[in-house]
Amino acid sequence: MIDECRLNMNVETMQRLPRIVVVGAGFAGLFAVQAMKRLAARIILIDRHNYHLFQPLLYQVATAGLAPSDIAWPIRAILTRQKNASVVFGEVREVDVVRNEVILENDRIGFDYLVIATGARHSYFGHDDWSDDAPGLKSIDDATAIRRRLLLAFERAETCNDEIERKRLMRFLIVGAGPTGVELAGAIAELAHYTLAKDFRRIDPRTAHIMLVEAGSRILPAFHESVSSYANRALEKLNVEVRLNAQVTHCDDKGVIINGERMDVGTVLWAAGVAASPAGNWLEATTDQSGRVIVEPDLSFKDLTNIFAVGDTAAVTDSRGIQVPGIAPAAKQQGRYVARVIAARLAGGKEPPPFRYRHAGNFATIGRNSAVIERGAFRLKGWLAWWIWGIAHIYFLIGLPSPLMVSFRWLWEYLTYGRGARLITGRH
Amino acid sequence: MIDECRLNMNVETMQRLPRIVVVGAGFAGLFAVQAMKRLAARIILIDRHNYHLFQPLLYQVATAGLAPSDIAWPIRAILTRQKNASVVFGEVREVDVVRNEVILENDRIGFDYLVIATGARHSYFGHDDWSDDAPGLKSIDDATAIRRRLLLAFERAETCNDEIERKRLMRFLIVGAGPTGVELAGAIAELAHYTLAKDFRRIDPRTAHIMLVEAGSRILPAFHESVSSYANRALEKLNVEVRLNAQVTHCDDKGVIINGERMDVGTVLWAAGVAASPAGNWLEATTDQSGRVIVEPDLSFKDLTNIFAVGDTAAVTDSRGIQVPGIAPAAKQQGRYVARVIAARLAGGKEPPPFRYRHAGNFATIGRNSAVIERGAFRLKGWLAWWIWGIAHIYFLIGLPSPLMVSFRWLWEYLTYGRGARLITGRH
């Protein structure tokens, strides 16, 4: 169905080659495809966006620090030289495990091996109707929509003649204090206190009230307690109010209810819950409570040994019993591992040992110049951690188009407080 | 209504100052405000976008060469240090000339002087229903919508199994061969023939058929004939088909009718007609056939001497009888001129002589490395004209935020064939 056209010359050779379909061009899927570069196979990468997204910096687009094209690259551009790979722009609806085909809206694509790397979405814990009033952050369109909301809140406050409404518009609330929530809160605080500080004439953006609300007893719960308290202090320095043990029980277009108390807020952002994409349903597989597929030690599905799940789609306990976290380096490692498994099977050779996760560390930033790094008993906080965070991210770019230009651009935005990307675009 | 809040300290002083309202932050409006920097006045700049747009390069965003934030800057950032100016994000509905107020959706703003610089929109010559099927290019949202259409056309052709439909999807038609039409055609040809050339596996983007359709007898009608024929040859080198004396009489989602002949086309873009924004209607002023206000020699309205029209809103014949063209340098000059007139009136001094336009030349580019410059009898074509065009545009950036970074970015996109900004965003 695919490839027959331009490759007429060697259609027969092509059709004899095994077909590997990868769904999702995030870190897991893209690195799986790139690791299969030398395989004598036809690799088809399907995604419903035409770009690979550098998700760790998505919060920067949402807070107007970077432009979308600074952190997203066309998948075709990344794979243009990998001749055994083709890209299909489309959305997978179902998988037919009897005929070994993935089903798109207007097409069916057969496979010998299938890698599902469809990532995660935000979860509202059964309150999906909150998504309009408390948007989450997973795609470029999410990020530009949040950017529009944040900037419009200040614009509306500037022209608002009602004191109470103006105060409401200047309140920003982030639900969930994992790394994304902490990063968003820090970046919004800097947007208000530095970038926008002198741009308005009636309001003073520095009086904006930014709140970070966490249901648990401390922020960054995946980190050590000393890291949590450091991050807490760093946020307070940025004038972010942190509320712990605070449960959001209601959400509408005027605000929220927290621990039974009504609070009028202009902008609510959701960074609380993550749920795997519905890949588990496609295959009626066993999933954990977040909807992630529980996979075998080689990351394949139970009873469907030619189908694999990687990245945020999979719940993986590695060969030493370590629960693999849902972060980019883990996705990358899983993508590469699956490529090795498939290569071994195609070659009829010995399969690699069960997947083993190498933990590089946990990272989180709190505004510019503050970050935390944790790796086992090693913990680093402050500006040095921030620079290591930055360099690690640039290192991570290797293999993507123009890492130097992107690094230069980031550095520029860092030095100029990202004055450039503050555009209100799209409908409002 | 505006300004009372943060400036409590000197509210009384402020309220005694004359109030100058400028509507529209394009070249004319922005340069008027900047030229009034030292005026003892309260200047209020109103725009329905939060950014100033560098319109001469908008076609680059539409064809994925540059990102929106490369050519648009927040108005507040540009004016942050100009303390006598404030920015209102909103849309003017009407002008009340009896009370001297502009009327916004939720507000009224009084003025002593009013400068209308609301620019132009595309005109479909009475066929406004064509705008969905043949979008024009005036704003950032227009540009990202066109970018999405162009990129989706190739994506759909790649997965299309019907030969005839695939051919239709690969046909691109631009209506109108003024500078914008010529630039769009050249840039789409380069997108197809270079940038995307090797990114697809079934289709060959180099076989895309790009047509430029002009109702008149030659392209670039405002230029000398020898320039038109040079541009024609340059477009043919890029494999753009130019059709002259070709009238579009119908337009729908499958294609167009040209000179009575039906043509199936995947993407139609409109670069044919320009009409002034409805500022003329607000004031019941005399307008020319494009809706531009016919102004007095000092750019004021007849009988409304405290109201001015500048840029594409105004039909200006200067003191030597020259019809001022609708281009950025002309808008800039008019904006600055009106600032001088208002300054003179406020000071009770002698008013400057009637507006006199200094023509720097006509420019148009045809893809990379080909351009034409015309100034009186002087004409330059080819790569040297292209570089002069580029340098002139960078020079034009002076006064806007970070001209160096932007120049660097342009150069980079030029060298790398703008691989970076090819994102399909928004709804489709």
Taking only the tens place, the pLDDT of each residue in A288-332 is 988 899 999 999 999 999 999 999 999 999 888 888 999 999 999
pLDDT tens by residue, B378-414: 899 888 888 888 788 777 766 666 666 667 767 766 6
- Annotated catalytic, B163? no
Q: Which two tokens stand for residue A364?
A: 């989180």
Reply yes or no on whether the pLDDT at A2 is more than 60: no
Whether the CB-CB separation of B214 and B176 falls below 8 Å is answered with yes
What pLDDT shows up at residue A94? 93
What are the backbone angles phi and psi of residue A278, rounded to the nearest 5°?
-75, 30
| Chain B residues touching A405 at Cβ < 8 A | 412, 416, 420
Residue-wise pLDDT for B262-295, tens only, equals: 999 999 999 998 888 888 788 888 999 888 999 9
3-state class (DSSP) for residue B137:
coil
A266-284 mean pLDDT:
88
Which residues are CB-neighbours of B91 under 8 A, at least 6 positions away?
B48, B104, B105
Residues from chain A contacting residue B196 (CB–CB below 8 Å): 76
What are the catalytic residues of A?
183
Interchain pair A5, B140: CB under 8 A:
no
- Please say if the pLDDT value at position A181 is more than 50: yes
CA-based nearest residue in chain B for residue A403? B420
Among A81, A107, A404, A425, pick the best mutation site for testing chain B contact (most B Cβ within 10 A).
A425
CA distance B422 to chain A (A): 6
Rg (CA), chain B: 23
Whole-model pTM: value is 0.89
Cα–Cα dist B116/A247, whole Å: 51
Cα distances from A108 to residues A25, A92, A95, A301, in angstroms, run 19, 9, 9, 21
Which of B74, B107, B202 lies nearest to residue A3, judging by beta carbons? B202
Nearest to A314 by CA among A117, A125, A27: A117
* Contact across the interface for A68 and B422, Cβ inside 8 Å: no
pLDDT in tens, A366-396: 887 788 888 888 899 888 888 888 788 777 7
The amino acid at residue B105 is E
Range ranked top by mean pLDDT from B138-142, B224-228, B306-310:
B306-310
In this complex, how many residue pairs, one in chain A and one in chain B, have their CB atoms less than 8 Å apart?
Answer: 154
**Per-window interface: A 6-25 vs B, CB < 8 A:** 6-7
Write out chain A residues lying below 8 Å of B51, CB-based: 422-424
B268 CA to centre of own chain: 19
- Give the rounded percent of residues in chain B with a pLDDT score beyond 70: 91
Range scoring the smallest mean pLDDT among A418-422, B22-26, B30-34: A418-422
Q: Which tokens sit at A125?
A: 């814990």
Model confidence at A121: pLDDT above 90: no
Contact A200 B76 (CB under 8 A): yes
Question: Is the CB of A399 inside 8 Å of chain B's CB atoms?
Answer: no
Q: What is the pLDDT of residues A50-63, one digit of tens each?
A: 999 988 889 989 99
Chain B residue closest to A11 (CA)?
B202
Note whether A80 contacts B151, CB cutoff 8 Å: no
Out of A49, A412, A423, the one facing B68 most closely (by C-beta) is A423
Does the beta carbon of A207 lie under 8 angstroms from any beta carbon of chain B? no
Asked if the Cβ–Cβ distance from A425 to B141 is below 8 Å, we say: yes
Reference B325, options B223, B396, B186; nearest CA is: B223
Does the beta-carbon distance from A70 to B67 stay under 8 Å?
yes
The partner residue sitting opposite B77, judged by closest CB among A88, A158, A199, is A199
Q: What percent of chain B has pLDDT over 90?
A: 62
Q: Check: CB of residue B219 under 8 Å from CB of residue B210.
A: no
Are B49 and A421 an interchain contact pair (Cβ–Cβ within 8 Å)? no
pLDDT in tens, B4-19: 444 444 555 667 899 9
Q: For testing the chain A interface, which of B75, B423, B427 should be mutated: the one with the most A CBs within 10 Å? A: B423
Contacts of A1 in chain B (CB under 8 A): 161
Interface of A with B in 63-102 (CB under 8 A): 67-70, 72-74, 76-77, 80-81, 86-90
Contact B46, B21 (CB under 8 A): yes
Point out the catalytic residue in the list B183, B190, B214, B413.
B183
Q: Whole-number mean pLDDT of chain A? A: 89
Classify residue B177 by burial, with Cβ atoms within 10 Å: 0-12, 13-18, 19+: buried
B45 touches chain A (CB under 8 A): no
Chain A: closest CA distance from residue B210 (Å): 21
